Amino acid sequence: MTWSTDSIIPLLAKATREDLAILKVHSHPNGFPQFSTLDDKSDGELFDSVFGWTDSTFPHASAIMLPDEDGTMFGRAILPDGTFQQLDSILVPGDNLHFWTANDIGKLPSFTQRHAQLFGLGTTRKLREMAVAVVGCSGTGSPVIEQLARLGVGRFVLVDPDKVEEKNLNRILNSTHEDAVLGRLKVEVMSRAITEMGFGTEVEIIPEDLATPEAVKKIAECDVIFGCMDGVEGRHRLNRLASFYVLPYFDLGVRLDADGEGGINGAFGVVNYIRPDGTTLNDRGLYTLEQLKSAGLLRTNPKAYREQVEAGYIRGVAVDRPAVISINMQIASTAVNEFLARLHPYRSDDNKNFAMASTSFFHGFTRRDAEESPSGMFFNNIGKGDVYPLLEMPLLSDEGIT
Ligand SMILES: [Zn+2]
């Protein structure tokens, strides 16, 4: 195979300017499932000149596509010393989630048998090989974790800075009175529950919010994100993170409005599936930039925030809304089913038509909205990976400037 180097010159210039990695992809139409000796030679030559040109110490990569039904891909990193290192997995998060791993985990654990009957061994294996980040381990987060763990997800990164309180016991699965009395961290309670299932699942806990570089880096190493938080700042940041690290992001939201006299003004739950290159939560009207600003002000300068709310310049950020376990669990199930349907497309309709699933418990209906054309708000960030400061946010620099 030969190809002109004309196409690569502008890419090299861009890669040098922004310290990006070059990924070379080619196909093996005959289905040959590994790198050939010819590939070794051509990758060696190409990346030798790439390293010579860009002067970077970060690895580049080379991948191969096969013509099978699954569109299998595999690849390797090319290190500055010219050696190759196999990529453990490749994830392509479009409307469907394509996920291929290099390792054979062998026999599946027997607890997965009954859902493997429905989803097949392939999908069940993928779940076992996947790492999932769940941000927020409370009302919707805990039932998401419970379901994913029993579906056989192999590794979790759990993020939540809060401790269990008495007022949480109405909805956090596996939390106990003792946890509330002792003030155990929510992430510890979740980790304990997963460990006690005895599936050998790996769990990493991060008792912090998304304002720390540590949390961002650990989430970035996962394959899928579930956002189970209240508040617009965390949502905005996860959406941004999903673009930088090319990750699929499922966002869950529940909103209950009581009239204070036993009546309900509104009861609403929504699951959004966000593609890294698709519409953002902001595009979909989940929050406005003004709300984002007020949430930021509340965090950085509570006094100025109160003054602005009182003067009527901004609307207050609601705290301590009502919360009901049955509604949370339904929304959590919708989100997990959405994830399964994208990993193992089985619905009669295309996945692009399920970008947003909203349920009104008040009106008694669920509607779905299709993916639309994105504003491109995060387009410049797609696939940039680690930058300094992380996510190009001053908040995440060493000094932690807000
Ligand atoms: Zn080849």
Q: Could you list the pLDDT tens digit for every one of the 402 residues in the chain? A: 566 778 888 888 888 888 899 999 999 999 999 999 999 999 999 999 899 888 788 899 999 999 998 899 999 999 999 999 999 999 999 999 999 998 877 788 889 988 888 888 889 999 999 999 999 999 999 999 999 999 999 999 999 999 999 999 999 999 999 999 999 999 999 999 999 999 999 999 999 998 899 999 999 999 999 999 988 999 999 999 999 999 999 999 999 888 888 888 888 999 999 999 999 999 999 999 999 999 989 888 999 989 988 888 877 776 677 889 999 999 999 999 999 999 999 999 999 999 999 999 988 999 999 999 999 999 999 999 999 899 999 889 876 654
- State the distance from the centre of ligand 1 to the C-alpha of 86, rounded, in angstroms: 15
Short-list 246, 256, 261, 287, CA closest to 379: 246
For 110-396, CATH gives 3.40.50.720
Strands of the sheet containing 23-27, edge to edge, are 23-27, 60-65, 73-78, 84-86
The pTM for the full model equals 0.94
> Residue 80 Cα, ligand 1 centroid: separation in angstroms?
21
The length of the chain, given as a count of residues: 402
How far is Cα 282 from Cα 289, in angstroms, rounded to an integer?
A: 8
Compute the distance from residue 389 Cα to the ligand 1 centre, in Å.
37
CA distance 252 to 103: 32
pLDDT tens for residues 307-338?
Answer: 988 888 877 776 677 889 999 999 999 999 99
Task: Give me Rg for the CA atoms of the chain.
Answer: 23
66 C-alpha to center of ligand 1: Å? 10
**Helix/strand/coil (H/E/C) assignment for every residue in 115-126:** HHHHHHHHHHHH
State the distance from the centre of ligand 1 to the C-alpha of 35, rounded, in angstroms: 6
pLDDT at 1: 59
Say what the pLDDT of residue 308 is: 87
Ligand 1 center to 39 CA (angstroms): 5
Instruction: Give me the residue spans of the domains in the chain.
Output: 5-87, 110-396
Predicted pLDDT at 118: 86
- Expressed in angstroms and rounded, the spacing between residue 341 Cα and the centre of ligand 1 is 32
- Ligand 1 mean position, distance from CA 28 (Å): 6
CA 63 to ligand 1 center in whole angstroms: 9
Q: How many CB atoms lie within 10 A of CB 368?
A: 13
**Do the Cβ atoms of 250 and 338 come closer than 8 Å?**
yes
Give me ligand 1 centre to Cα 199, in Å.
Answer: 39
Q: What is the pLDDT of residue 35?
A: 97
| CB neighbour burial string for 106-141, b if at least 16 within 10 angstroms, e if fewer | eeebeebeebbeebeeebbbbbbbbbbbbbbbbbbb
**pLDDT value, residue 105:** 75
